[in-house]
Amino acid sequence: MGVPGSDERQETVADIGEFGLIGRVTAGRRQPATTLLGPGDDAAIVAASDGRVVTSTDVLVEGVHFRMDWSTPEHVGRKAVAVNIADIAAMGGVPTGLLVGLACPRTTPTAVAEGLAAGMWEEATRAGAGLVGGDVVAADQIVISVTALGDLQGRAPVTRGGAMPGDVVAVSGRLGWSAAGLAVLGRGFRSPVTVVSAYRAPEPPYAAGPQAALAGATAMIDVSDGLLADLAHVAEASSVAIDVRTSLVPVPQRLVEVASALGADALHWVLTGGEDHALAATFPDPAGVPQGWVAVGTVGRGAGVTVDGRQYEKPPGWQHWR
């Protein structure tokens, strides 16, 4: 976690203390209009126009979700925010605020903590949300917990449980890029940069969530563990069967090239790779699929997820403790 090429002792979070660190990472930061009361009090106040708050929490652990020798602190900060706001978008919500918990060793350089915060602010700003509060504590490794808040703006939430037989399945955002980046880094390479960057800091299509809700999406989910694995959650919650058609699934040429170089399968990355945080949704009419979304399958009667009418023979996605 040190700064390469520096022989001088680096300032650590222990040197400036909890409140010194909080002051540094919040000073001069601008909040969106939805932040009625930001950092500095016992709790924050965030506006919710229709009286309902959408909320979600994710935890990122060093060595599990990120490695500091593979990513910069800014990348990790962006990723921590992105994975949470994607969940808000998957409900059809618009992100408004974020609460951040940071646990790290006392020897953590202040520059690392500030880099994490800079990445968080950058991604939050991109999504139109504010960092409104949080906490910092000592721990043996870096752990980041983010709670995201969102506003439905008067719309009904789009849950996983509304898909109906006859619906079309569509996706928005990148699929397979993060898995390809992880494979490249795992082989000891640092390029292609576009592929590696997709693993380091995903770029979810935040606006596509509310867009899908306005277009009448019947169910929606954030693709965090893999398209097939996450569509299985929709199928179970909706008591339907989902079939993905590989002829409809976009497989970018760049991924094909990387997979060929590594002896891997680009389609497998697209179908099962997690951490791109694309959105998958079901719509009642193929003609009603919004611009920027791509139809990849259908919803029918039954249970489970198939690929081209058959059970997928490989693992469908990421599972913890497996």
Separation between Cα atoms, residue 154 and residue 158, nearest integer Å? 12
The answer to whether 169 and 75 have CB atoms below 8 angstroms apart is: no
Tell me the CATH number at 81: 3.30.1330.10
Residue 291: its pLDDT value, please? Answer: 96
Rounded to an integer, the average pLDDT of 112-133 is: 96
The verdict on 225 and 268 lying in the same domain is yes
Distances (CA, A) of 7 to 3, 134, 176, 274: 9, 33, 40, 39
User: Which residue ranges are tagged as binding site for ATP?
Assistant: 134-135, 160, 224
Q: CA 21: distance to chain centroid?
A: 26
Residue 322: its pLDDT value, please? Answer: 47
What are 279-299's pLDDT values in tens digits?
999 999 999 999 999 999 999
User: Which residue ranges are tagged as binding site for Mg(2+)?
Assistant: 42, 56-58, 87, 135, 222, 225
The verdict on 232 and 287 lying in the same domain is yes
The verdict on 229 and 257 lying in the same domain is yes
**312 found inside a domain:** no
Tell me the CATH number at 174: 3.90.650.10
What are 46-68's pLDDT values in tens digits?
888 888 899 999 999 999 899 99
Rounded to an integer, the average pLDDT of 78-87 is: 96
The verdict on 139 and 209 lying in the same domain is no
Helix and strand numbers (H, E) in the chain are 9, 12
User: Which residue ranges are tagged as binding site?
Assistant: 42, 56-58, 65, 87, 134-135, 160, 222, 224-225, 275, 318
- 303 vs 43, higher pLDDT: 303
Number of domains present in the structure of the chain: 2
What are 305-319's pLDDT values in tens digits?
999 999 998 888 765
Residue 320: its pLDDT value, please? Answer: 45
**317 found inside a domain:** no
The verdict on 142 and 197 lying in the same domain is no
Domain with 78 in it: 13-151
Which residues lie below 8 Å from residue 131, measured CB to CB, with a gap of 6+?
26, 29, 38, 39, 97, 98, 100, 117, 120, 121, 124
User: Which residue ranges are tagged as binding site for substrate?
Assistant: 65, 275, 318
Residue that finishes a domain, picked among 126, 151, 176:
151
Residue that finishes a domain, picked among 94, 117, 151:
151
Kindly tell me the burial class for residue 211, based on how many C-beta atoms sit within 10 Å of its own C-beta (0-12, 13-18, 19 or more).
Answer: buried
Residue that finishes a domain, picked among 151, 180, 201:
151
Residue 1: its pLDDT value, please? Answer: 45
